[in-house]
Amino acid sequence: MDWNPHITVATIVEDRGRFLLVEELKGGRLVLNQPAGHLEADETLRQAAVRETLEETGWEVELTGVVGIYLYTAPSNGVTYQRVCFAARALRHHPQRPLDSGIVAAPWLSRAELAVQPQRWRSELVLRCIDDYLAGPTHGLSVIRD
């Protein structure tokens, strides 16, 4: 059996109790996720998180910590993902910047607003990462060794 886990990053960006999310088309439906994506060649995990957040939301961010590292197998296709989830602070928004293909919007939602619509989560990691962030503590960025 050939098994190749995918390395991904995600970013939790909170501002006054609201979280930056992406609304994207996946499998013909609109789903909610953190700004997230795959690690690219010759890129560090930190660079990937900052890049994906900017490309998917138009927000420049500063990483502040590591929320956790997650292993998730998608029931829809059996693909296993290793997600490194970062916490970040929003710095600057570029509203005129075009968002990545498939991204419809970058809404800010409270945990409660997100929790009542589980049918729209891209995966259960969406709420789990926010809950882990809220429960704390986040880990220092030095835990990531480039």
Could you tell me the pTM of the whole model?
Answer: 0.94
In a domain, 31, yes or no: yes
In a domain, 78, yes or no: yes
Query: Which residues contact residue 4 at a Cβ distance below 8 angstroms, ignoring those fewer than 6 apart?
Result: none
CATH code, domain with 20: 3.90.79.10
Q: What's the pLDDT tens digit per position in 69-92?
A: 999 998 888 889 999 999 999 999
Structural domain tally of the chain? 1
Query: Quick one: pLDDT at residue 111?
Result: 98
User: Can you read off the two tokens belonging to residue 106?
Assistant: 């970058």
Judge contact between 34 and 67, C-beta under 8 A.
no
Strands (E), the chain: 6-15, 18-20, 22-26, 29-33, 36-38, 59-73, 80-93, 103-105, 108-110
- Across 7-28, b (16+ Cβ under 10 Å) vs e yields ebbbbbbbeeeebbbbbbeeee
What residue numbers bound the domain in which 107 lies?
6-143
Q: What's the pLDDT tens digit per position in 7-55?
A: 999 999 999 999 999 999 988 899 999 999 999 999 999 999 999 999 9
In a domain, 1, yes or no: no
- The rounded distance, in Å, linking the Cα atoms of 124 and 117 is 11
In a domain, 34, yes or no: yes
